[in-house]
Structure 1
C-alpha cells in the first residue's frame, strides 16, 4: 500500500494548530530528554550518532506538526513522503548502527511524548481530533520505518550474496591467500576449523529455494556454509565440521542424482582451495566408479582421479603406497602384486612366492598398516594395483637418461 486517504472526525481549530506549532520547541526538548532518560543504548552512542538520531526525532515532530495543521482536509498521505521527511537526512550508516528494535523504541518515545503532552496543549474541543492525529501518524511512521529497514535488508542481502559468490569463486579458482582472507572478512565467515568443499549435481529445485533449504539445514546443524550453483554443478563450502562423514551426509539432501564428492578437511579458508581441487577432480572422475558411496571422499577416488589425468592423485598413490612399500622391502611389493593378480588367493600367492600362507597373511597385514589400504578388500586391492602401476611408471620416468 503506497498511499491512502485520512479524514479526522471533526475539524481542528486554528487555535489548536497554532498551539502545537508554538509548543514545538518544548516538545523537541522533552523528546530529547526522554530519549536520554529511558533508552540506555541511546546514551551509550557516540555524540555524532546521538545527534543524528536526535535530528530524526525532531524531524518527526516537525512533520507531525505540519500534518496536524492540515488535519481538517481529506489529505493523501504517501509513505514515500513520510520516509523522505523523517528519514531523508539520516546518514546511510544509521540503519547498520541502530537495530530495527532500537529504531522502533526511538519513534515510540517520540510519539509517547506527543501523546502525553498534546492534551495539555490543545483546548478541550480539539482533544479528540488530536488523539486521532497521533494514532494515524503513528501508523504512517510504522509503515515508513518498516520500509526503511526492508530496503536496507534487501540491499544488504543482495550485497552479501555477491560477496559470498566472489569468495566461493576465489576458493574454487585457488586465488591468493590475501584475497581469500579479505573476501572472507567481508562476508563475515567465522569458522576457523573443520572446513571442506563438496561438489555434486544440484537438486531439481528453484535456485533460491535450494539455497534457502541448504542454509536452513546448515543452520540447524550449526554449520557455516557457502553455496554456489555453477551451471550443472552445486559447490558448497562447509565450515565448523565436526564429523565429516556425518555432516556431509546431512547436507547431501541439497544435491540431486549422481556422485557427491568432498575434499579433505582443512582448518582455514586459505587452505580450502586444496579441498576444492580434490572435490572437483573427484567429481569429474567419479563416473568411473558407478557404485561409489554418496557422498564420498575424494581420497577414496585416487585411482579414478589418476586415470582421469589428475597428477596430484597419481603422485599421492605413488608416495603413499608404492614408495612406502618399496622402503619397507621388495617382498611387500612383490606380495601385493602376486596377491592381486592371482585373484586374492592366499594359497596361490604362497605357491608362486615359495612361502607359507601365514607369511602371506603377515605381509598383507603389514601392507594394510603401512598404506591404510587392505589387500583383502576388493576395492582396496584395486587401489593398490593402480598404485603399483603409477609407482613403476613414475620410477621409470624419473630415472636419469643414460
Structure 2
C-alpha cells in the first residue's frame, strides 16, 4: 500500500506555529499593507508641514500666539502624525496615545491653549491627513487607511479630553488649596501681601468694595457647597473667595458696597441659623476687619432672638459689646457717644432722660423743665448726629448701651 506523505501537514503546522510565535512576540509580523506604511512614513514630514500651514491659514488664535507656543503646537502635530504611523503599523498593540502625542509639549501648554483650540488643532491635522489619503495610500488601500484614520481620530479625541481633564483636576485641587489659605488668612487676621498674590492667582482682581459673610456650613460635600456659592456669585455679578472652615461657611465677596444685599444674594447654600455680613472695607488686606466683625456678630447673634436673616454685624453692636467684643465697644463709643458729647451736653442729657423715662416725651420734658417740642427737636438732632433714632426700640437699646460704655470710658480715663 502506498504510504501517506507526512510532509505536507508538518509544513502547514510549522507555518502556523511561526505566525503564532511572531504574534506572541508583539504582533510584529510582516505588515499586509507595507507599501502604504512606507508611503506614510515618507510623507510624515510633509503632512506635518501642511497641517501647520493649514493652522496658520485658518486659525486666527494660532497666528496670534507667541513663537514658543507655536513651535510646541507644531511638535504636537508632528507627534500626532508619527503616532498614527506607529498605530497603523501595529493596530492590535495597546497604544498610549496621550503620552505619545501630548507628552512632547510641556504641561504649561494646557494653560496657553484652551480645550476648544486643541480640538481645532486636532481637527485640522486630521483633515490634512484625510485629504492626502489618495496620495499616501497604495492602490487598493485607500479604504483601509481611511478607516484606520477614523478610528485613530476617535482615540485622539478621547486622549485630548483625558489630558485636559487631568490638568483641570490638578489645577482645581491646587486652586482649592490656595483659596483655603487666603480665606483662612483673612479670617485669622494674618492677611498680607502673600495672601493678595494668592488671591490674584485665583482671578481676584482687587475690587474696591469687599465684605465677609459668615454662617453655618451645611452637612455633606463641602465642594458642592463651594460650587453653589460660586453659582450664586456669578448670578449676582460678584467676585468671591470661599471655603468651609470647620462648621462655618466663609465667603469673601467683592464688587458691591451693600453688604446686606451681598448676603441676601449668597444666602442660599448656608445651613439654617444666623448669617452675618461684616462691614464693607476697601480691599482684601482690610477684609480681616470685616471678618472679625462678622465672626463676633455670629457669636453674639443668639442674644437677639428676633434678628433678621441675614443680619449686618453693625446691627449687632450692642450684643457684641455685651459679649466683650472690644471693636464693638470702641465703635459704639466713637460713633455714638463722642459725637453726642461734641454736639453739646443738652443732647446727651436729653437722650439719657428720655431713655430713662421709658421713651416718653412728656416725662422727659417735665424732668428737663422744657417744652415737649424742645425734647422732640433734640431727639431729631440725636438721630442726625448718630444715625440711630431714639424712638425706635432697637435703636434706643443701642443708644443706651453706647451711653453706658461712653460713661464707663470717661470714668476710666484720668481726670
TM-score by length of 1: 0.92
Match of 2:197 in 1: 182
Match 2:360 to one of 325, 345, 353:
345
Match 2:61 to one of 41, 45, 58:
41
Match of 1:8 in 2: none
Structure 1 residue 35: Cα displacement: 2.6
Query: Is 1:210 the counterpart of 2:225 in the alignment?
Result: yes
Q: Deviations over 1:103-135 (max 9, x none)?
A: 111111211111111222223321111110110
CA contact under 8 A between 2:181 and 2:195: conserved in structure 1?
no
Query: Is 1:28 the counterpart of 2:48 in the alignment?
Result: yes
Q: Deviations over 1:41-88 (max 9, x none)?
A: 2233222222221111111111111111234xxx1434xx11111111
CA contact under 8 A between 1:170 and 1:179: conserved in structure 2?
no
Query: Is 1:258 the counterpart of 2:278 in the alignment?
Result: no
Match of 2:246 in 1: 231
Moved beyond 6 Å, runs of 4+: none
CA contact under 8 A between 2:365 and 2:375: conserved in structure 1?
yes
Query: Is 1:292 the counterpart of 2:312 in the alignment?
Result: no
Match 1:133 to one of 113, 123, 148:
148
Structure 1 residue 205: Cα displacement: 4.5
Query: Is 1:18 the counterpart of 2:23 in the alignment?
Result: no
Q: SS at 1:269's partner residue?
A: coil
Q: In 1, Cα distance between the equivalents of 2:67 and 2:374?
A: 83
CA contact under 8 A between 1:227 and 1:235: conserved in structure 2?
yes
Q: In 2, Cα distance between the equivalents of 1:370 and 1:275?
A: 24
Match of 2:94 in 1: 77
Q: In 1, Cα distance between the equivalents of 2:191 and 2:230?
A: 27
Query: Is 1:167 the counterpart of 2:176 in the alignment?
Result: no
Moved more, 127-136 or 45-54: 45-54
Q: Deviations over 1:214-241 (max 9, x none)?
A: 1111111111112121212111111112
Structure 1 residue 12: Cα displacement: 4.4
Match of 1:119 in 2: 134
CA contact under 8 A between 2:260 and 2:277: conserved in structure 1?
no
Identify if the C-alpha distance between structure 1 residues 12 and 119 changes in structure 2 by more than 3 Å, giving closer, same or farther.
Answer: farther
Moved more, 272-281 or 29-38: 29-38
Q: In 2, Cα distance between the equivalents of 1:112 and 1:12?
A: 25
Q: In 2, Cα distance between the equivalents of 1:308 and 1:377?
A: 23
Q: In 2, Cα distance between the equivalents of 1:275 and 1:83?
A: 48
Q: Deviations over 1:320-367 (max 9, x none)?
A: 222221222222212111211221111111112222111111111111
Q: Which runs of 5+ in 2 are unaligned?
A: 1-30
Q: In 2, Cα distance between the equivalents of 1:176 and 1:123?
A: 68
Match 2:110 to one of 95, 99, 102:
95
Structure 1 residue 309: Cα displacement: 0.9
Q: In 2, Cα distance between the equivalents of 1:120 and 1:161?
A: 51
Q: SS at 1:104's partner residue?
A: helix
Identify if the C-alpha distance between structure 1 residues 25 and 229 changes in structure 2 by more than 3 Å, giving closer, same or farther.
Answer: closer
CA contact under 8 A between 1:226 and 1:236: conserved in structure 2?
yes
Structure with larger RCO (C-alpha < 8 A, sep 6+): 1
TM-score by length of 2: 0.89
Query: Is 1:195 the counterpart of 2:197 in the alignment?
Result: no
Q: SS at 2:104's partner residue?
A: coil
Q: SS at 2:141's partner residue?
A: helix
Structure 1 residue 303: Cα displacement: 0.9
Q: In 1, Cα distance between the equivalents of 2:89 and 2:80?
A: 14
Q: SS at 1:23's partner residue?
A: helix
CA contact under 8 A between 1:191 and 1:240: conserved in structure 2?
no
Root-mean-square deviation (Å): 1.8
Q: In 2, Cα distance between the equivalents of 1:24 and 1:233?
A: 59
Q: Deviations over 1:125-180 (max 9, x none)?
A: 21111110110010110011000111111111111111111111121122254223
Aligned residues, how many? Answer: 386
Q: In 2, Cα distance between the equivalents of 1:318 and 1:132?
A: 82
Structure 1 residue 242: Cα displacement: 4.9
Structure 1 residue 95: Cα displacement: 0.6
Match of 2:172 in 1: 157
Structure 1 residue 185: Cα displacement: 1.5
